[in-house]
Amino acid sequence: MFILTIILKYILTNLKEHKLRTSVMLLSILLSTILLFVSLSIGASYESAQKKMARGMTGSATISVTTKDSATGISLDDIPDLPEIGVKVGIITGSAIYHKEGYYESMDLIAAEIKALNQINKLRLVNGEEITDFSGNQVILPDRFTSKFSIEKGDLITLQVKGMPVTFEVGEIAAYDTIFLRQTRGTTALFPLDTLRKLVSQTDGYNEILIEPAKGVTTAELKNALQNNMPNHIYDISEIVNEAQIAADARQKSMPFFLISFFALTISVFIIYSSYKVVTLDRLPIIGTFRSIGATEKEVTKVFLFESLIYGLLGGLFGIPIGMLILKFILRGIGKTLSNGIEIPVIISPLSIILPFAVAMVVSISSSWLPIRRASRLPIKDIVLGRVDEKHVSNKATILIGIVLFIISIILPRIAPKSMLYPAGGFSLLGLITAAILNIPLITNLISSGMERLYEVIFKGEGKLSARNIRDNKNVTQNIALLFISLSAVIVISVVGNFVTTYIIDVFHGAELDGLANGDMDQSFVEKVRNMDGIKKILPIYIMENSVQANRNNLIRLEATDNLDWYSSMFALNYSNGLLEQAFYEFHHERNILLSENCMDRTGISVNDIISLSYNGMEYRYRVIGSFKSRATDAEAVIPSYYATQDFGMQTYKLLAYTAVDPEAIIIQIRDLFGETPNWSRTVKEFTTDALATVEAFLQPMHSMTWLILLLATVGVINNLLINYIQKRRSIAMYKSVGLSNRQNIQITLLEGFSSGLIGAVIAVFVSYLEIQTIFLVAGPKITMVPELKHSTFILAGIAGIVINLIGSVAPILKSHQMKLVEEIKFE
């Protein structure tokens, strides 16, 4: 017991004396806990926000009931009282057009009992107040719309309803959130129930009833219950959204955060472990002394474990509250835009608290336990005499395992069945990192052997030595491993982050398109546009919405073009299943049709089928020559223009896509050309800017998190370099004793820093490339966009790694200048 007290006292003084090292270690535990907590929480919050966005207006309602005969309304009493039903809300819908300065904005008008509506989707006003006294000719509009057209609360606006102008007063402005969220373009406007009833002449009942399942009831159960209790020939009962699809999409979009968590975890494990290893090594003489004066192995271990327990507890106890503050701060960072953007619900799940805490504790304790156990196996005499240098393991087995793991990690996500893709991807990510770490000694040795020759020629003996020093050197290996993990974290997160940003914002990504005009256009209109100055390509398109059936399935949107080549490039069609060159050529000569992959899934039609397109009681046989995915068009099917006019009597174009030298100038002329005809005409740039404004706040957390992980990486690298110096101090002294001058020391240290930085960077670039491949293999099947790998990301990260290492070499250089040679050599 006495000895325990002595050791404890020793540790306390040690903490006091090695303030820097202790604080770096505590900081890394703390940061890891924080980062893990914040990224898990934001990931969850973000995922739920994505789900919310995907659900849009319907909120927590999942079933929609309408009458088959759209002329008759449906009343709330038509829905039987079933225990599966939670809330039911009657909705009146209508449509209108808003026109201002050449812009035409289509509007979906909705009305419902506000109280009921709030239960499934709570309305949020910009001024933070509750709605009172909402009646008469009032309307509530989302700020996304009002800010675009500079409309204030109390203003009057005129809408074209069924071709008639009606004027309303803007009663309130709401956040672009909850019921106003939408996936399609246009705007949702909320009206008082009675007002909209009159406007769309729906005097009794509703157009649609939205139902939220009771607690614990699934959507499928609810749907079943309703179908069993309501006459199916009168009512249409449908699921509003595809829950599974929404969940998958949301997970995909919050992927960067989970990646951040993943890397935060790996980096923390590494930093904490290596810190402890060195601290123990540094304390070996003391351990030996204690042992030699009679402390048992158990007692020594207990004290050290106790110490790490305290670190872990501190990390966990402070990390999570600080994490909550940071979480609030990051989500508040959206503060300014919070009122007019999408509110991100803060979700703190038990997992996001328990996991970081557990990690802090488990990693701290096991990291300290391993080196101590190793130390306790050493003969006391060796410890006391300070004759313990680290064993260097160039175990063939380790290398073999590393290589096998590497190969498996590359292959697995490529051959895994669809259902196993996520686990395979996870394994592959972890496997790639582990394999790299296992093989770093081998790779480093190989590269340094090459460098040794090269450097000898360029830098003489100092060069040879610095290259040689990297070889068989555990400190260097460890440094490279940490640098590699940090750099690849930064690379992977920024690539995936950028990808997700582009993916969310830029639906026209990869589309060779400058602008779109939506409205009724005849041939002469098209010719006028074709003759405008600076026009490059112009593509008029016929559109048939909900009027043609393919094998009895309603086609939501059928488009027709006379130039499939341009159509493909302008809307970035992705023929994932391949499309023969010949098909392009033949397309226009026969009744051919291309279907979107979603449409094929929905209808069960496959490529090469002959299908029937029915329209107005007539049927035509078309051959399916291919399938496509596209984010730039909602078209479910594409046919040749010629047959659209022949079979379906198309005469008026609905859509005009163009590319031009000055897209802005063209769109202004097009709006002019439309005159009073309603149209929706935008340049792609304008469209993307609008989209960005909405989701910018949403993406902010991702950027903050990337910075945080960089911070953690930096702390890790500094920690490591510090450790490195502690371990190198003695060997620098040895070098000096045989005649190493300060100048030579600077040269060797810098070269060493540069070389190990270079090796770390090269491995990081290589492995993160593979990791990105894995990530997109896993996420890929559902994504229609190819990730863009900018060389600059990789090169910059590599340079950053080298620079970090060079900067890190400065401290050892300065310190060894002041080194008391004799004192380092004499072993205290």
The torsion region of residue 801 among left (phi > 0), alpha (psi -120 to 50) and beta comes to alpha
Shortest reach from residue 810's CB to other proteins, in Å: 18
Shortest reach from residue 772's CB to other proteins, in Å: 35
Residue number with CB closer to other proteins (302 or 474): 474
8 Å CB contact between 546 and 485: no
Residue number with CB closer to other proteins (328 or 392): 392
Shortest reach from residue 813's CB to other proteins, in Å: 13
| CA nearest neighbour of 285 among 10, 469, 567, 556 | 10
Q: How far apart are CA 499 and CA 513, in angstroms?
A: 20
Residue number with CB closer to other proteins (633 or 745): 745
Residue number with CB closer to other proteins (67 or 479): 479
8 Å CB contact between 1 and 288: no
Residue number with CB closer to other proteins (317 or 442): 442
Residue number with CB closer to other proteins (506 or 752): 752
Q: How many CB atoms lie within 10 A of CB 428?
A: 26
Q: In 597-652, at which residue ranges do the beta strands (DSSP E only) sit?
A: 610-615, 618-628, 637-640
What is the contact surface with other proteins in residues (CB under 8 A)?
Answer: 385-387, 389, 391-392, 460-462, 464-465, 468-469, 471-473, 731, 734-744, 821-822, 825-827
Shortest reach from residue 733's CB to other proteins, in Å: 8
Q: How many CB atoms lie within 10 A of CB 335?
A: 11
Residue number with CB closer to other proteins (348 or 750): 750
Residue number with CB closer to other proteins (80 or 450): 450
CA torsion angle 639 643 644 648 (round to 10): -130
Shortest reach from residue 467's CB to other proteins, in Å: 12
Residue 235 pairs in a beta bridge with 67
Shortest reach from residue 731's CB to other proteins, in Å: 6
Q: How far apart are CA 577 and CA 787, in angstroms?
A: 18
3-state secondary structure at position 130: coil
Residue number with CB closer to other proteins (471 or 631): 471
8 Å CB contact between 375 and 277: no
| CA nearest neighbour of 146 among 178, 115, 183, 190 | 190
Helices (H), 506-596: 523-530, 564-570, 581-586
8 Å CB contact between 775 and 255: yes
Q: How far apart are CA 550 and CA 531, in angstroms?
A: 37
Looking at residue 158, its amino acid is T
Residue number with CB closer to other proteins (473 or 630): 473
Shortest reach from residue 8's CB to other proteins, in Å: 28
**For 532, which DSSP code?**
S
Q: How far apart are CA 765 and CA 491, in angstroms?
A: 8
Residue number with CB closer to other proteins (219 or 444): 444
Q: Could you tell me the sign of the dihedral formed by the alpha carbons of 409, 410, 414, 415, in that order?
A: negative
Residue number with CB closer to other proteins (146 or 816): 816
Q: How far apart are CA 220 and CA 229, in angstroms?
A: 14
DSSP 315-329: HHHHHHHHHHHHHHH
Shortest reach from residue 444's CB to other proteins, in Å: 12
| CA nearest neighbour of 485 among 702, 290, 716, 324 | 716
SS3 content of the chain, % helix, strand, coil (to 5): 60, 15, 20
CA 56 to chain centre: 20
**For 90, which DSSP code?**
E
Shortest reach from residue 318's CB to other proteins, in Å: 39
8 Å CB contact between 592 and 623: yes
Residue number with CB closer to other proteins (473 or 793): 473
Q: How many CB atoms lie within 10 A of CB 395?
A: 12
Shortest reach from residue 6's CB to other proteins, in Å: 25
Residue number with CB closer to other proteins (476 or 702): 476
Shortest reach from residue 7's CB to other proteins, in Å: 26
**For 590, which DSSP code?**
T
Integer angstrom CA distances of residue 42 from 117, 261, 352, 505:
28, 10, 10, 19
Would you give the end-to-end CA distance of the chain in angstroms? 27
Helix (H) or strand (E) holding 542: strand 535-550
Shortest reach from residue 445's CB to other proteins, in Å: 11
Shortest reach from residue 460's CB to other proteins, in Å: 5
Shortest reach from residue 380's CB to other proteins, in Å: 16
Shortest reach from residue 479's CB to other proteins, in Å: 14
Residue number with CB closer to other proteins (296 or 395): 395
